[in-house]
């Protein structure tokens, strides 16, 4: 998080003090760095320079319109998993023809919307979905471009909730069924078989499982080519992890190193067998683009001393950041102002009426009531997984650009939350 640093003992986002942001915009708040976002995207774009490749940002990580707009201006495509996300891309000025539509449960309405906007491709995950999409496209007088999301049964060695490439997962077509499924797809009149896709999981610190999955996709592409089914793109999904500050997990593989190994293997495949000639390579990164662009800024309400635990009670909660409660995720907590309060060991918890409402456990912190804390590396899966549990309005979102602060999503208030409800007359 190079764009977040202490200056004269106060944590800054680029050139702006987080204390000043809290004073003007309140807490809790998500604060993002524009420079960090663009640097992270550039790590992918630079590694793809001179290649027939497309970086489709997986917007489920963070779908704020301002972030989508900034990435679209850099040439990004988008990986979506709902019709609502497609409408966000369009509202942000993104190009629908750079959109990949993933997900296991696409509705007919979502398929129609995507076909109306001529998206790049549907990542199809089952035979029933193939037939539904064929019927919808036929009813519209169109042909849908499809790739199959193939489940290569590769163990990503990540948290079971974010592992997606094993036999037991709901995602994709089994590798053993893929050839037959491609044959079936090629026979459907309103589908255009365009590519192959896989995504084996998220927060991968080692790229070995991804390269293993690539080898299996190459094997399948060659088998398809032998049957006259020639693909136009190879989509390796996302999954590269980021550093949350927990040293036990190790350092993530650098993006440039991973993409370099991918292109080296593809070049060797092309040279050895003439396979893959003219095939576009697509990546779907999410967390590795936005994760370390942001912090969750929160205020200490109370310090509570218990018999077994000491609690730092803050105004952010599990509805603002679900990862710790959902995945038991470790996320770094730091004070905004480096002061001289005594260091204690605390569980950092929120005000929600659930024992699972915790943000950090057993942290050594020098804090007092009224102090500000940040949860670092909170740019991914913060706002997109936020809820209104306990009728709590979702936090404000801000982007810092040098010395400027842009409010890119206003804080919700209680009236916003029940505006769509009505009484029985």
Residues flagged as binding site for pyridoxal 5'-phosphate: 239, 284-287, 381
Residues flagged as binding site: 239, 284-287, 323, 327, 354, 381
**353 has catalytic annotation:** yes
CB neighbours of 333 closer than 8 A, spacing ≥ 6? 348, 359, 360, 363, 365, 373, 374, 375, 376
Task: List C-alpha distances in Å: 79 to 20, 34, 138, 147, 283.
Answer: 35, 21, 24, 13, 9
Alpha-carbon span 346 to 408, nearest angstrom: 32
34-47 helix and 65-73 helix, angle to the nearest 10 degrees: 40
Sign of the alpha-carbon torsion through 155, 250, 215, 144? positive
Measured in whole angstroms, how far is the alpha carbon of residue 80 from the centre of its chain? 10
Question: 56, 198, 312, 353: which is the annotated catalytic residue?
Answer: 353
Q: Which DSSP symbol is given to 167?
A: T
CB 200 within 8 A of CB 237: yes
Measured in whole angstroms, how far is the alpha carbon of residue 182 from the centre of its chain? 28
CB neighbours of 329 closer than 8 A, spacing ≥ 6? 159, 244, 323
> 77: closest CA among 301, 274, 235?
235
Q: Could you give the residue numbers annotated as active site?
A: 353
């Amino acid at each position: 998080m190079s764009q977040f640093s202490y200056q004269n003992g106060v944590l800054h986002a680029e050139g702006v003090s987080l204390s000043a942001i809290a004073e003007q915009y309140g807490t809790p708040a998500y604060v993002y760095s524009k420079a960090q976002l663009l640097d992270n995207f550039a790590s992918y774009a630079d590694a793809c320079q001179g290649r027939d490749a497309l970086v489709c940002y997986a917007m489920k990580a963070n779908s704020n319109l301002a972030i989508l707009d900034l990435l679209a201006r850099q040439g990004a495509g988008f990986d979506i998993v709902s019709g609502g996300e497609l409408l966000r891309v369009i509202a942000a000025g993104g190009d629908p023809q750079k959109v990949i539509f993933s997900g296991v449960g696409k509705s007919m309405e979502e398929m129609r919307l995507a076909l109306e906007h001529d998206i790049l491709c549907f990542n199809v995950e089952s035979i029933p979905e193939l037939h539904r999409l064929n019927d919808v496209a036929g009813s519209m007088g169109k042909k849908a471009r499809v790739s199959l999301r193939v489940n290569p049964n590769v163990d990503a060695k990540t948290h079971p909730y974010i592992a997606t490439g094993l036999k037991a997962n709901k995602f994709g077509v089994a590798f053993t069924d893929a050839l037959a499924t491609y044959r079936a797809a090629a026979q459907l009149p309103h589908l255009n078989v365009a590519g192959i896709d896989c995504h084996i999981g998220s927060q991968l610190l080692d790229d070995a499982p991804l390269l293993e999955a690539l080898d299996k996709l190459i094997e399948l592409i060659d088998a398809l080519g032998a049957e006259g089914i020639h693909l136009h793109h190879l989509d390796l999904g996302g999954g590269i992890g980021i550093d949350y500050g927990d040293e036990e997990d190790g350092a993530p593989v650098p993006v440039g190193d991973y993409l370099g190994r991918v292109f080296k293997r593809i070049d060797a495949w092309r040279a050895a067998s003439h396979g893959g000639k003219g095939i576009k390579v697509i990546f779907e990164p999410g967390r590795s683009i936005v994760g370390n662009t942001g912090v969750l800024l929160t205020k200490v309400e109370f310090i509570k001393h218990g018999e077994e635990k000491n609690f730092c009670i803050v105004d952010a909660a599990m509805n603002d950041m679900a990862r710790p409660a959902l995945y038991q995720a470790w996320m770094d907590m730091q004070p905004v102002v480096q002061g001289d309060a005594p260091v204690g060991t605390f569980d950092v918890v929120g005000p929600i009426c659930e024992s699972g409402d915790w943000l950090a456990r057993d942290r050594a912190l020098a804090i007092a009531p009224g102090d500000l804390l940040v949860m670092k590396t909170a740019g991914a899966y913060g706002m997109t997984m936020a809820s209104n549990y306990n009728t709590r309005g979702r936090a404000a979102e801000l982007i810092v650009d040098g010395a400027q602060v842009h409010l890119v999503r206003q804080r919700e208030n209680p009236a916003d939350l029940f505006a769509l409800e009505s009484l029985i007359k």
